Amino acid sequence: MSTALYNALSAASASAHAVDVTAHNVANADTTGFRAQRVTFREVLDRDTPAVAAGDTLPDSTRGEIRSTGRPLDLALNGDGYFVLGTPGGVRFTRSGAFQVSADGILSTPEGYPVLGQGDSLITVPPDARAISVGKDGTVKVGEEEVGTIRVVQVAQRDLQAEGPRLMALPGAEVADVREPRIESGALEGANLDVVHGMMELIRHSRSFESATKVMQTLSDVEKRTARGFNSAG
């Protein structure tokens, strides 16, 4: 493969990855707590020539718009950090605070993942509870009785790995508790993605992919014609 064709292939591969990631972002523009993913590009030196390749895919740390819902167990983080969940696959993190009380009285996500409190404890609500409130610091009360405090942690964005539209995993990395979280009850954070900007980005990456594939086709045709010319001369 010629150097020019190799470079065009690298550019096409990087652009195709960016198209996939951006399309996923746009598809989740209405997903509560969704963190858009951003693709970085890097220049690699291979075969003594620079080529473009897709680098890391990292979650965007920009906060989404907070919208009022009036529901006490809808929680939004008006600041940095993530809620901590217990899942069958281990601890996971989320910005989506649409919580509820499960049938067995555990504060959980709609999927049934428990929302972890300080010390990764479960937050249990009495079965006859009526008035449930959550303070800005994450304190959960049933009437005047405290039943737990929601844990909020700070993590390095570069260490996070997306698992679906709402969950983040943090394999082998450390987390730190947010000492003074700012939780808004009766509100949810939307996706941190502007649809118009996302569509423009998708078009840009799509055009880059199309340009790279056209270059590949042109170079391939030239190589074929050159090869036929050599064979005819022989």
For residue range 57-112, list pLDDT tens digits in order: 888 888 999 999 999 999 999 998 999 999 999 999 999 999 999 999 999 999 99
Nearest to 210 by CA among 18, 1, 2, 6: 18
HEC per residue, 37-88: EEEEEEEEEECCEEEEEEEEEEECCCCCCEEECCCCCEEEECCCCEEEEEEC
For residue range 116-142, list pLDDT tens digits in order: 999 999 999 987 888 899 999 999 999
Residue showing tokens 């391939």:
220
Quote the CA–CA distance of 115 and 86 in Å, as a whole number.
Answer: 7
Residue showing tokens 């808004």:
184
What percent of the chain is modeled with pLDDT above 70?
A: 86
Quote the CA–CA distance of 170 and 108 in Å, as a whole number.
Answer: 20
Residue showing tokens 């030196």:
45
Nearest to 155 by CA among 136, 170, 171, 172: 170
Q: Kindly state the tokens that stand for 42.
A: 């890097």
Can you list the alpha helix ranges (DSSP code H) found in the chain? Answer: 3-27, 195-233
**Does the pLDDT value for residue 16 go beyond 70?**
yes
Which letter, b or e, does each residue of 141-169 get, where b requires 16 or more Cβ atoms within 10 Å of its Cβ?
A: ebeeeebbbbbbbebeeebbebeebbbbb
189's enclosing H/E stretch is: strand 187-189
C-alpha distances out from residue 206 to 16, 210, 213, 217, 229, Å: 8, 6, 11, 17, 35
C-alpha distances out from residue 60 to 39, 156, 162, Å: 10, 11, 11
What percent of the chain is modeled with pLDDT above 90?
A: 53
**Does the pLDDT value for residue 50 go beyond 90?**
no
**Does the pLDDT value for residue 42 go beyond 80?**
no
Residue 199, CB-side half-sphere exposure with 13 Å CA sphere: 3
Nearest to 129 by CA among 112, 144, 149: 144
**How big is the chain, counted in residues?**
234
181 and 90 in contact (C-beta within 8 Å)? no
**Does the pLDDT value for residue 203 go beyond 70?**
yes
For residue range 158-181, list pLDDT tens digits in order: 788 889 899 999 887 789 999 899
The pLDDT value recorded for residue 51 is 56
Average pLDDT, the chain: 86
* Residue-range domain boundaries for the chain: 3-61+193-215, 66-189
The pLDDT value recorded for residue 53 is 59
